[in-house]
Amino acid sequence: MATYAKAPAKIILLGEHFCVYGAPALSMAINFYAKVKVENLEKNELHISSKNFGVSEVYRKDFKEGKKVLNPIRVAVESTLKHGGLTCKGLKVEVDSEIPVGVGLGSSAAISVSTIAATAKHVGLNLSKEDIRSLAFNSERLIHFNPSGVDQTTSTYGGILLYRIGEPIRRVKPQPQPVFIVGNTGIRRVTGRFVKKVGKLREEKTKLVEELAKKAESLVFEGVKALEEGNLNLFGRLMNLNHELLCRIGVSHEKLNLFVDAARKAGALGAKLTGGGGGGCMIALAKPENWVGVVEAIRGVGGEAYKVEIDWDGVQSWVNPSRLGG
């Protein structure tokens, strides 16, 4: 018997980086998924493989040995078993993710969330979504320096979320549905490096960064209202302002700025970098009637671009081989 799970990627609509220091962020789960399959093994071992990284590892006695890139997955399995007071009796964990890695779409969080959900279901542990996202912190801390938790929260719950450290999440229901385009520079970077960079700036220029964080906070609250009232023109303007704030804390990149300009010139209502910055992805809010033009504009300046849909469900797990691949 095999058990499966899938968890979505995310984009940050407003408020990244500042949310690490207590400001709110507005995030959205998107229809790119990390899929995980868990099966029993005869031997008392843990086998982990990742199709994307093209690596696998067999863990025998000591879980701590092994390839660094697989550590977050190993920690996700280990934390789940520990949470249930169980020890590993032989498990095979296969990760297959369609989320581009290292470009700010929350690939690592989705892999951890999906691994936790599949492992828990496989060993008969009934975890709540709250348990899943909280366990995923153990893996996220290995990858991102000081993560706010927005990535794994969005991947776990799905939908559009108003997120703030230490507060209950609030689901946001946009009216009408916004059309978002993701533009990928293809420049892979480590989010933690940019979180550290902002942390250093905050130490050196505390007043400035706090002022910008206050502005980001107002943008997020205005943004929630704009989405719920269907004021997409305003939401687009807020995205543009947010991009300026992110430029001021030094996390943009010339390619991101190029894509953002191209999207705006092609008629996007707003555009900004998304996630950690320094490369990775940007997002644009397109008018439903001309999203193709925005996609083409981003492609025209050298980006990969795609229209993304909202994932409303978050992580899902099941035991049913006929749904292999979800």
List residues near ligand MEV by CB under 6 A: 12, 16-17, 19-20, 104, 106, 144, 147-148, 150-151, 191, 195, 275-276
Which residues share a beta bridge with 318?
4
311 is catalytic: no
Distances from the Cα of 127 to the Cα of 83, 103, 159, 195, angstroms: 9, 29, 20, 30
Euclidean distance between CA atoms 284 and 264, whole angstroms: 8
Distances from the Cα of 288 to the Cα of 224, 255, 271, angstroms: 20, 25, 15
Q: Which is nearer to ligand MEV, 21 or 221 (CB)?
A: 21
Q: Which is nearer to ligand MEV, 108 or 317 (CB)?
A: 108
Shortest distance in whole angstroms from residue 209 CB to ligand MEV: 13
Q: Tokens for 195, please give them.
A: 């979180």
Q: Which residue is it, tokens 């809010």?
A: 285
Where does the chain have alpha helices with state H?
Answer: 71-83, 107-122, 129-143, 150-157, 191-204, 206-229, 232-248, 254-265, 291-300
Catalytic residue among 151, 261, 311, 313: 151
Q: Which is nearer to ligand MEV, 212 or 297 (CB)?
A: 212
Shortest distance in whole angstroms from residue 229 CB to ligand MEV: 26
Shortest distance in whole angstroms from residue 19 CB to ligand MEV: 5
Which residues share a beta bridge with 97?
34
Q: Tokens for 159, please give them.
A: 């939908």
H or E segment and range at residue 253? none
315 Cβ contact partners less than 8 Å away, ≥ 6 residues apart: 5, 6, 7, 8, 113, 114, 117, 129, 132, 155, 156, 158
Which residues share a beta bridge with 161?
27, 171
Shortest distance in whole angstroms from residue 307 CB to ligand MEV: 20
Q: Which is nearer to ligand MEV, 119 or 191 (CB)?
A: 191
Q: Tokens for 43, please give them.
A: 């031997």
Q: Which is nearer to ligand MEV, 63 or 145 (CB)?
A: 145
Q: Which is nearer to ligand MEV, 195 or 260 (CB)?
A: 195
Shortest distance in whole angstroms from residue 61 CB to ligand MEV: 34
CA atoms 37, 42, 45, 50: torsion sign: negative
Shortest distance in whole angstroms from residue 2 CB to ligand MEV: 31
| Catalytic residue annotation | 151
